[in-house]
Chain A
């Protein structure tokens, strides 16, 4: 597949409630891209304009070289004539049709007669492992089964672009795991492009080849999973991947992060830069540690939460960070909100990288 002619080429500009959506998206054939962002970031609007359920105010949507929405040329192709399939968050299977007829609905609309449409639907139900469930009504299906029927329904019309809107959000944890695996199998087999809209980083990391992160209607970072997790560029992404992230000025092996605090880093960086480190790398002490790492500062405990087997301590001070400590250590240090402590980070556990050279915040 040639990279200069992606299957989806879109510049999405649309009005949101609080802000304007302005997102550029390119997806190659066979590629799965996750559109990741907090609630209200504009992900769903992006999906709706791609599907044609909502018009663009500017920009364009082009799939396989065909323009579907171009406000400047007064061109708009309605959803029923786009080769775009959608899997909705709460599956939206038609309640009056059984599973087979739900899946056959699309093929019927695309000109197949009832027999052929049902045959194709049966084939798709088989592929998603639900061949015994053809006669079931949606309310007789479990959440995971319904979502698999919804996937079969969207794929049965062979869309050039498949859109998935939080496909796993409505499922319980166990079903989610199974369905995610199932979904991964089908997305891998899908020859065309797929866009997964989600706020769950795990879904995005497992299912997508590439992440596009949006906040307040703008792309703040994009790249493959390794890059994004290693080098977050916004607090949101850092939080998603569980890192402390600070921005400052790099001066060789030091990054000044405001309030007179300079963090010594293993990486060498100059100019506008990020420095990131995991909460587990933050050590807490009752008094100022002597003969210890240079990166120490006084802090106040503002919050304590369970985090796996450990406790995650939210700290305020010259640097707001999260620290993971064992319950034993927390008890010894009497870590309750308001308690004053000293925080320390080893230089070897930090990562520093330039803030420029990619979509950044603001």
Chain B
């Protein structure tokens, strides 16, 4: 993450602190608990949230003295498996509805998951875009190598949808296990392009994002929920509220996420 991007986030955080100091946050679920939030909050979050949740965690700790946020970042599916197998977590933030469904169906979610951001697919290419890629159609040129995520993981599912919408019949050279794998292949120059999330490209200085219209139909929703097994339910609720607050949203949009659909 580039340092200049932190500035607006910090400003937003200060604003939240000021509001909290005035004695009332606008979110109904957080304000009441402000005084009682203590202890450690354990958050299982999708790998694509690593940078932005790290920032949010520090801000949350500053806003609630006496709290500590610890993270477990991994692929959403792996996290869902860990949670349903009894891992001690307070909050689960998934990069797609699928893994969240696994958790809710197992009865491990306390309440309804809420979508807090959405992520959009882009074409990741090297900084200078040597292949002059402007859209999906450029990816099927002979000799152009493309990495996709495997259809079993959220970014691969989204890519499949986008390609179906576009009618472009693309044969990738590899179906990567996660976004980071696809990104690494572009970074190392082994492929010319990869379909990944906009946030991932923004966090990778060597790459640049080429937007394409078909991605609009394959936007990925990120749900978040407090878990039934939470050892610190008050802290968990407060963290979720913080993520969904204006301050939280500011950090996330700054990382390239889109705000959730209104409603």
The answer to whether any beta carbons of A and B sit under 8 Å apart in the complex is no
